[in-house]
Structure 1
């Protein structure tokens, strides 16, 4: 099952990019044997500054046809790392070919785009900078593969 991180904004060289790259490289080594991966990152940018309504069609175009749509949103479901891993396994076992995780810009995701989501996921009630959400999502994807592989990275 291919995973796609579709995000508003360009992640430039720096600590956030290094962390995302590291976690996705780790995931690639662990996830492939589990039928997960690869992960591809699709970055979109609204150069005219139209906010979330202008970003929504750009994000829609980044999502592969037929992909399950999972949005990162503070109003979404909070879950434990094992629950997240189990959710990915369930999607994989149900025959999903692609899952797209959407991360909005500074203002979040447009209401219409949120309404299209198959799953809304939250990292808690706090609002996180969208660049950090990318890092946290990459880490949780890697952690999920580690949990599913029975590796000691995640301890309950």
Structure 2
């Protein structure tokens, strides 16, 4: 299953960008990042079907890493070919996008800069794939 981050803003050469690149290399061909301008432009249509859409949103569900992995594993086992993760700009997502998403998730009750949220999401996607594969990267206490 392709794990596809679609994010507003250019991350460029930054510490956050280096983190995203690090996890992208670990995940290989099953991971993709698409950057959109801060304003304007639209989310590209899916290239694979079926697809699920996840929007990062401050009002979304707060999941543990294991819960997140179980959702991705279930989607994969159900034949989902692409999971798209949408990160909005500073003002968040439009209501229509939030309403159409299959899942809304939040990284806690704090507000995070969207560039840092991108790096955190890349790490959580790598962690989820490690959990699914039984790799020791994720250690439960």
Same fold (TM over 0.5): yes
Gaps of 5+ in 2: none
Match of 1:64 in 2: 46
Q: Deviation string for 1:89-126 (max 9, x for gaps)?
A: 00000000111100000111111111110111110111
CA RMSD between the two structures:
1.4
Match of 1:124 in 2: 108
Q: How many residues align structurally?
A: 138
The list of structure 1 runs, each at least 4 consecutive aligned residues, that deviate by more than 3 angstroms after superposition, is none
TM-score by length of 2: 0.92
What CA distance in whole angstroms lies between the structure 1 residues aligned with 2:131 and 2:114? 25
- Which of 60, 66, 77 lines up with 1:76 in the alignment? 60
| 8 A contact 1:103–1:134 mirrored in 2 | yes
Gaps of 5+ in 1: 29-36
What CA distance in whole angstroms lies between the structure 1 residues aligned with 2:136 and 2:53? 30
Match of 1:14 in 2: 14
Indicate the structure with greater helix content. 1
The secondary structure found in structure 1 opposite 2:3 is: strand
